[in-house]
Structure 1
Amino acid sequence: MKKIFKIFLIIILVLIGLLFVRPQKVIYEADIIGKVIDENNKPVSNATIYRIEKEYYINEKIGSNESKDIRTESVKSDKNGDFKFYAKSRIDWFHTPLDLPIGYCYAAFEIEKSGYEFFKTKFGEYEQYRIANCYACEKVLFKPVLVLKKIKNKV
């Protein structure tokens, strides 16, 4: 009887474990179609725009979960100042049944161009919740117009 109980308990634990660890949950990064202009509303061509994403890690020193911003891809603005990051996805292997069927989408980026001040979006500047009938951020589109400031010459 004890052996049957142990087998039953193991089966229950395995089934519970399968609820918590499922492979291949796809997370979508939104489309970003933007424009880079200067303070006079003129397009800035050949600016480098970086998509910024969070990288999560465990800080071994203090034993806490932390994150840092990383540049995951880059594009150049065209002669009209336009740029585009296409939707992309990544795989998140570990999640729980507590994951809700909603998605919080955000876009963050940095821009560099010689002769202009470095530009980085502020936290939460481009964000929205998942839209109806899509999975996570699958069909989300951000359309930022980013204004770069020229570096002032010091006399």
Structure 2
Amino acid sequence: MKRTFLKVILGIFAILIFGLFIRPQKVIYEAKISGFVMDENGKPLKNAAVSRIEKKRWKNKEFGYHESSDYKSQKVQTDENGKFQLDQKSRVDWFHTPLDLPFVWCYASFEVSKAGYETHKTKFSDFKSFRKENCYACENIEFKPQILLKKNSR
């Protein structure tokens, strides 16, 4: 009797612990980025390419470790006024840790390039914001950068 009761308690405890890690309801948001690209004289740059930078992760099947690399998503071009917009994105995140507390830091990584100019790539903490509400990263957060592209010196 005690043994059965202990198994039931351990089973319930295991289900609760499992529930901390696997929940299909968490949505991760990538922030909206709407900005302005200009040259060294402050004039708007038309047709500059702007790309959101995200991480792609996978497991190396041969050696068993995890790898990642950056990739460009959401590519747009600036309009005649040098303005661009990368819309907010979302995805469902199935794996969680107990450290997923109801607060997050929201970061925005992107790259701006145009022929004849040096490419501008944001650093990790150039655009960041603290978000606290239902553990949804970057929901309704918008970054409004002004990017200066320098002429290529070559």
TM-score (norm 2): 0.85
SS of the equivalent of 1:23 reads strand
Question: 1:38 aligns to what?
Answer: 39
What RMSD over aligned residues (CA atoms) do the two structures have, in Å?
2.3
| TM-fit CA distance, 1:115 | 1.5
Could you say which residue in structure 1 is the equivalent of 2:106?
A: 105
1:128 correspondence with 2:132: no
Quick check: 52-61 or 38-47, which moved more?
52-61
Give 2:19's aligned residue. Answer: 18
Q: Which amino acid aligns with 1:98?
A: L
Equivalenced residue count is: 153
CA drift at 1:121:
1.2
Is 1:57 the counterpart of 2:61 in the alignment?
no
Which residue of 2 is the match for residue 72 of structure 1? Answer: 73
Task: Give the whole-Å Cα distance in 2 for the aligned partners of 1:133 and 1:24.
Answer: 11
Whole-Å separation in 2 of the counterparts to 1:22 and 1:96? 10
| Alpha-carbon separation, structure 2, partners of 1:87 and 1:74 | 13
Displacement of 1:65: 4.1
CA distance in 1, matches of 2:153, 2:36: 22
Cα distance in structure 2, aligned partners of 1:134 and 1:81? 34
Change (3 A) 1:131 1:7: closer
Native 8 Å contact 2:101 2:135 kept in 1: no
Contact preservation (8 Å) 1:51, 1:74: yes
Cα contact 1:108–1:123 (8 A) shared by 2: yes
1:55 maps to amino acid: K
Alignment-mate amino acid for residue 147 of structure 2 = L
Contact 1:131 1:139 (8 Å CA) reproduced: no
Structure 1 position 77, deviation (Å): 0.1
Q: Give the drift of 1:64.
A: 4.5
Structure 2 unaligned spans of 5+ = none
Tell me: CA distance 1:3–1:132, structure 2 relative to 1, closer, same or farther (3 Å). closer
Structure 1 match to 2:119: 118
Distance in 1, matches of 2:142 and 2:132, equals 10
Query: Within 1, Cα distance between the matches of 2:4 and 2:25?
Result: 35
Contact 2:102–2:134 (8 Å) recurs in 1 = no
Give TM-score, length-normalised by structure 1.
Answer: 0.85
CA distance in 1, matches of 2:41, 2:85: 22
